[in-house]
Amino acid sequence: MGKQSGMPLRVHQIAEALHREFDDLISMSDALRTGPEEFERKFLSRALAAFVARKLTGCDSAAAAGTLIDGRNDLGVDGVAFTDGGLHLLLIQSKWSDKGTAGFGVAEALKFVQGLRIIDQQRFGRFNDQFQRHAEQVKAVLKDPRGRITLVTVLVGDGTLSNEVLDCFHDVQREFNTDYDRKLGYEVWSAQRVWEAVRDDLAEPPISLTAPMDKWIPLADPYEAYQGRVPAAEIAQWYEEHGDRLFSQNIRRSLGLTEVNHGLVETLTENPEDFWYLNNGITILCDHAERQAWSRASQAPVRLRMHGASVVNGAQTVTATAEAMRRAADMASQAYVGVKVITTRHCPDGFGTTVTRTTNTQNQVERRDIVVALDPVQSAVREDFALSLDKSYTFRRGELDPLPDAGCSVVHAATALACAHRNPDLAVRAKRSTDLLWETGPSGAYTLLFDPAPNAYQIWHSVLIMRAVGAALEESKGQREGRARAVAENADLLLTHIIFQRIGTEDIDSSTYDLDAARERIPGLVIEGLTWLIHHLDAEFGPTSFISSTFANPDRCRTLVRRVLSELGGGKTAPDLPTEYQPPARGRRTRRPNAVPTLVDAGRLADGTPLTFAYATQNEHDALSAWLTADPRRGQAAWTNNRSKPLVWAVDGNRYSPTGLVTHIWDEAGWDPETRPVAVQGPSRWTVPGEGTIWQLALEVLAQRDEELDNAADRQASRDATMADDLLALASKVRSRLEPTEPSTAPLDDPEAGLLK
């Protein structure tokens, strides 16, 4: 493409780079009837979004082109991409200008925000076919408490947003985020930033770093390496000079100021002398290193000059150190960071990649390990479970969860106790992240739930009620659509809290607690409570309010709990919800899926997904329970994507079909063939913890396919209707031109006469 008249040089260079990278990758079939200039503008705008997606995610060019959804029914979103292991959703909108003057107005910002709102309500059918490829992963981000969303605006202009546009973004952030959960952010790419990224693609100059290191240890064999302490101020200076280029070889960039990073900053600014002891430090790969000792004394501090350096582990430590220096340099500068430097010039090929991968995938010590595993209360609860209930209770990470009938883990226990607690804030915390359940201190969830220690009856009854609510809610989801279904998925623990408060927890810690009576009430309460919850969500905060952020907001959740409990206690009939919240009548016949091929084809389960055995009848429970609980591995298997024998039994490592493994267990347990069933539906007997049986997951896959077909049919009907309208309008214009007009009285040589008229 030649340089167009009036196009600034850097804009021309960006356009050339976009053509080189994406000419054969981006579909332009919907723009074939446009003029050359409009076609070019559309291409460059789409390529611009794809380019930024590649830079932000680290994917290749073909994958970046696959992020595009620009076109009819894109609802203001040009690209959908994912990073940070799929937990960070990037919604990209790009604007091209040949003159480098692209702007972003209020109308465009409002459309962008409206697209986000429709995504939050899971009304994915409003989007075009290109978006549907990403729908399930978008839903996963919305559902995961660790998920984040960033609105990315890319402008071939100076990148300046008006105050009105900034107000739009800040307003939606205030609505979407909470004081506890900063899920939504935005960023702007200007023409300058795009040009710099294009330039960096061509040749990123290697980074050289200087590290004054004390307490250092050299290693020469088999590979040259150094380990020691480096002042935090030096680490921060690296980031100030080089930014994210420091992490060019890392598997991920900085995650921003996450909850963990806030803890790092707090330690650096309040207890800097403790930081070296509490932090894992950073690992640096470099091409080669030069060292200069500050003195001739043995083990005197050394200054390392590292050429071609990259931080391959510890990006969060680096960015937290830089932030701490910005906030309180006088305190943070007193801290030291542990640094390991490995030179690669004499290493075998691929060694640097191995170091990067392994240092980022080793198990980390979590708060649960420190708080729970060392607390004698948990050992006492385990003992109480065994002596009072003859059941298992696990609390250390790595221990297998007991079979559902055989007991529970501390995660299930803490979640159930949080829902049963009179303060709904604890259910909100549990929904956001189970990590928040291990906080200590006067208002920490762990302290509130386990001090004083609950007995085995209280925990077990609470877990069983939570499971019953979950099962009833799963049934109710099928009767909800769109926004209502999204509420059912996001409000599960809050609804469990409401039902606990409604049925009461008096005597729940007693062996005489009437659990059956409580469970009989649950299905009806779930239907009624969920209906009231949806009704009051819309009434209190509006039918377009963000769902995921509402159920992460303790203030809003307290309001909803009060409203719903008041309605349930007043005996009012639950209101009728809008028709768009109800699933449309399906004309298809209910299908009986072949579960294993259905799941394998859909890629629904990853290899290694754990499965647990589920009893079908009381007779089976009586025949197998003693044998299964004698060795927990007997009820455990792992999924593999194999069409005939997908289950690997934990006992012998052999492969089985779901049905084959059930019958094998019957045989091994010695269940009399005369008293056991003649046949068994194996897929309904193996459960993915927290998700459902293989059979249920296969039904969900088929339901999703039906929904996609229905959405595609709806979109096609909309396109057909639009085409019909266009044809009618065209026919009307043709008729108007063909209708006879009154004879003209103008002279024949009058240029305004006759047919010209």
Q: What is the per-residue pLDDT for 719?
A: 61
**Does residue 411 belong to any structural domain of this protein?**
yes
Residues 566, 673 share a domain: no
Strand partners, 184: 149
**Does residue 589 belong to any structural domain of this protein?**
no
Mean pLDDT across 404-408? 90
Query: How far apart, in whole angstroms, are the C-alpha atoms of residue 701 and residue 696?
Result: 9
* End position of a domain, from candidates 326, 360, 394: 360
**Does residue 744 belong to any structural domain of this protein?**
no
Residues 182, 120 share a domain: yes
pLDDT 10s digits, 486-513: 999 899 999 999 999 999 999 999 999 9
Residue 674 pLDDT grade (very low, low, confident, very high; cuts 50, 70, 90): confident
Residue 745 scores a pLDDT above 50: no
Q: What is the per-residue pLDDT for 743?
A: 47
Residue 594 pLDDT grade (very low, low, confident, very high; cuts 50, 70, 90): confident
Share of the chain above pLDDT 90, in %: 48
Q: What is the per-residue pLDDT for 97?
A: 94
Residue 313 scores a pLDDT above 80: yes
Residues 340, 353 share a domain: yes
**What is the residue type of 134?**
H
**What is the residue type of 671?**
W
CA dihedral sign of residues 595, 601, 603, 609: positive
Q: What is the per-residue pLDDT for 165?
A: 94
Residue 478 scores a pLDDT above 90: no
pLDDT 10s digits, 268-299: 999 999 999 988 899 999 988 988 766 555 56
**Does residue 658 belong to any structural domain of this protein?**
yes
Residue 172 sits in a domain of what CATH number? 3.40.91.30
Residues 139, 54 share a domain: yes
Residues 208, 187 share a domain: no
Residues 627, 640 share a domain: yes
- Other Cβ atoms within 10 Å of 311 Cβ, number: 27
Between the alpha carbon of residue 67 and those of residues 64, 83, 146, 264, 513, the distances in Å are: 5, 12, 22, 34, 54
Mean pLDDT across 146-158? 93
Q: What is the per-residue pLDDT for 294?
A: 60
Q: Is the preceding omega at residue 222 within 30 degrees of 0, hence cis?
A: yes
Mean pLDDT of all residues belonging to the chain:
85
**Does residue 1 belong to any structural domain of this protein?**
no
**Does residue 725 belong to any structural domain of this protein?**
no
Residues 135, 119 share a domain: yes
Residues 560, 414 share a domain: yes
Residues 126, 96 share a domain: yes
pLDDT 10s digits, 99-143: 999 999 999 999 999 999 999 998 898 999 999 989 988 988 888
Residue 362 scores a pLDDT above 70: no
With 0.85 as the threshold, say if the pTM is over it.
no
Q: What is the per-residue pLDDT for 747?
A: 44
Q: What is the per-residue pLDDT for 755?
A: 32
Mean pLDDT across 6-16? 90
Residues 427, 395 share a domain: yes
Share of the chain above pLDDT 70, in %: 86
**Does residue 61 belong to any structural domain of this protein?**
yes
Residue 339 pLDDT grade (very low, low, confident, very high; cuts 50, 70, 90): very high
Strand partners, 631: none
Query: How far apart, in whole angstroms, are the C-alpha atoms of residue 691 and residue 696?
Result: 9
Mean pLDDT across 478-488? 87
Residues 193, 62 share a domain: yes
Q: Which residues contact 17 (CB under 8 A, 6 or more apart)?
A: 51, 198, 201
CA count, 13 A, side-chain hemisphere, 71: 17
Residues 355, 231 share a domain: yes
Number of domains in the chain: 4
Q: What is the per-residue pLDDT for 590?
A: 45
Q: What is the per-residue pLDDT for 587?
A: 47
* 206 contacts 312 by C-beta, under 8 angstroms: no
- 425 vs 633, more confident: 425
Q: What is the per-residue pLDDT for 297?
A: 56
Which domain covers residue 459, as residue numbers? 375-581
Q: What is the per-residue pLDDT for 358?
A: 63
**Does residue 34 belong to any structural domain of this protein?**
yes
